[in-house]
Amino acid sequence: MKSYAIGIDIGTTSTKVVLFDEKGAAVAHHAKSYPLLAEEPGAAEQNPDEIFEAVVYSLRETVRKSGDLAGKVGFISFSTAMHSLIAVDADGKPLTNSITWADTRSESYAFAVKSSPEAIDLYKRTGVPLHPMTPLFKLQWLKNEYPEIFQKADKFVGIKDYILYRWFGEWATDYASAAAMGLWNMKTLTWDEEALQMAEVTAARLPSIQPTTFYWNGLSETLAKESGLDPSVKVVIGATDGPLSNLGVGAISPGDVAVTIGTSGAIRTTSTTPVLDIEGRTFCYPLTENHWVSGGPVNNGGIAFQWVHDLFHEKEIEGSYEELSRRAEAALPGSDGLVFLPHLTGERAPLWDAQAKGSFIGLTLRHKKDQMVRAVLEGTIFNLYQVYSLVKTQAQEQAEVKILATGGFTNSRVWKQILADVFQKEVSIPEHTESSCLGAVQLGRFAIGESEVLQEVAEETKQYGKVLPNPEYKETYEELFEIYQSLSKTMESQYKAIHEFQNRVSK
């Protein structure tokens, strides 16, 4: 018999805790936010104790809101943001803040390795693109910039590892979190010796590695008291937010595609074995040993729509985003040949170039606001489709592709339609917005034996809203996507010069 369960998602801006019933419906929830600290250029840190308190408080509040249902909770399961790094001393006390994925201070170290002969071999072993988000490069930066902290540190851990240590007194991390460090070998499922040498750390200075299905068989005394839950409640170590989001929306079979567009965006697909890009442009992280999530994060999603909104509306006006969406709908698909490269804030996948810039290409006198707005929306989808084209496998091409879309962009009818038309596939909008929390719970059910097969869990995900593609636009978008790819490749060689020029004139 399936139990009620709690999913905890430790995000970059807040922690969300959701209580789900046996069928996967959310019945109680609470969230608490915390600040991102940027005290020097490139820094993006958080106070780990503040996050711990947010997790405990949100858990306690969710239990309080659930009333008598709290007695039905069988387990807690975790999701976490990737790529965090905390140095702790021998007593488990933090020597640094939690250095988040958004911290770019290790950029020069990442670039040095990316330019080296070892780069592709490192990527092929770890599945992580070479980027300053990765703790491997954060460790190199920390050793060189703060050697006294590096030497004093007993362990280097992630934010979820730290929270679980506060509860259980042992350092443990899961396969997915270990993979995101850039120090984990996806073939051996252990710390990668060559990567450890590059970071100049030993395995003893990192947490022990556990499968994502590992769990503690009961709460610690402190946690039981703080949460109000029964001490018999199990705690599943869980995984990271990207792979769990795929599971939460039901995108874990070959051919399934999960698309998320909020301020930034991501596209992820699942396979039974690792899928890598020969040029190292996509990630590949484990959900379990038999489920691998490949794809890429993009910097420029809703932020591009916000930019074009602010360009045409100097101040926030009620309904102005809806008005812009109507303008985009008024323009023909393909925006009369206007192409927008959406790299307004640099880019992660597929370019992995912090100096990349956005651009309109193809402007003529006949192009007006309608075409410009539509081109922005089309450009963000082309960018995601370009990432997807790097991780499609033969098995996925033979399978029926299922697209599941989440994020704020689903509030725009025209943007959802562009997604369906570019992919030429039906788009489903899942009911659950907290997909990482739900994914954590679904993984938890599999871990403790309430579900025998992970796919069976995903089938419980309810969906609503279907967007069907317009077949008449297939050729238009195929032709324009080829042009987009060509322009994207051509512009790559110019970004460094533009970046340096902009930096000079802005001083």
The answer to whether the 4-242 and 250-433+463-500 domains have the same CATH topology is yes
148 Cβ neighbours under 8 A, 6+ residues apart? none
Helices 48-66 and 159-168, packing angle to 10 deg: 70
Q: Partners of 269 in the beta sheet?
A: 257, 294
Q: How far apart are CA 502 and CA 505, in angstroms?
A: 5
The DSSP line for 207-222 is PEEE-TT-EESS--HH
The region that residue 72 occupies, defined by phi over 0 for left and psi between -120 and 50 for alpha, beta otherwise, is: alpha
DSSP character at residue 36: P
In whole angstroms, what is the distance from residue 267 CA to residue 244 CA?
Answer: 13
Look up tokens 């540190």; give the residue: 153
> Rounded to whole angstroms, how far apart are CA atoms 175 and 185?
10
- Phi, psi (deg, nearest 5) at residue 409: -65, -20
Give pLDDT, residue 395: 57
**199 class by beta-carbon count within 10 Å (0-12 exposed, 13-18 middle, 19+ buried):** buried
Residue partners of 427: CB distance under 8 A and separation at least 6 = 259, 403, 404, 405, 416, 419, 420, 466, 467
CB atoms within 10 A of CB 21: 15
Whole-number Å distance between alpha carbons of 196 and 183: 6
Q: φ, ψ for residue 125 (rounded to 5)?
A: -85, -35
Residues 6+ apart with CB under 8 A from 293: 242, 243, 246, 268, 269, 270, 284, 285, 286, 287
Domain ranges of the chain: 4-242, 250-433+463-500
Of the candidates 22, 15, 159, the residue with the CA atom closest to the CA atom of residue 87: 159
Give pTM, 2 decimals: 0.92
| Cβ contacts of 330 within 8 Å, gap of 6 or more | 370
Residue 399 DSSP SS3: coil
What integer pLDDT is reported at residue 460 of this predicted model?
Answer: 58
Instruction: For residue 25, report the phi and psi dihedrals to the nearest 5 degrees.
Output: -90, 135
* Cα angle value 222/226/229 (rounded, 5°): 95
Q: Which of 298, 303, 366 is nearest to 338 (CA)?
A: 366
Classify 4-242 by CATH class: alpha beta
Cα–Cα distance, 184 to 195 (Å, whole number): 8
User: Which ranges constitute the DSSP H helices of 200-291?
Assistant: 221-227, 241-249
Helix extents (H) in 282-412: 302-312, 320-330, 369-391, 394-398
For each of the chain's 507 residues, which pLDDT tens digit applies? Answer: 789 999 999 998 899 999 999 988 899 999 999 999 998 999 999 999 999 999 999 999 999 999 999 999 999 999 999 999 999 999 999 999 999 999 999 999 999 999 999 999 999 999 999 999 999 999 999 999 999 999 999 999 999 999 999 999 999 999 999 999 999 999 999 999 999 999 999 999 999 999 999 999 999 998 999 999 999 999 999 999 999 999 999 898 888 899 999 889 999 999 999 999 999 999 999 999 999 999 999 999 999 999 999 999 877 778 889 999 999 999 999 999 999 999 999 999 999 998 899 999 999 999 999 999 999 999 999 999 999 999 987 556 667 788 999 988 999 999 999 999 999 999 999 876 688 999 999 999 999 999 988 876 656 556 678 999 999 999 999 999 999 999 999 999 999 999 999 989 876
State residue 365's pLDDT score.
Answer: 98
Its CATH class, for the domain covering 250-433+463-500, is alpha beta
Residue 46 corresponds to which amino acid?
A: Q
Predicted pLDDT at 456: 64
What confidence score (pLDDT) does residue 49 get?
A: 98
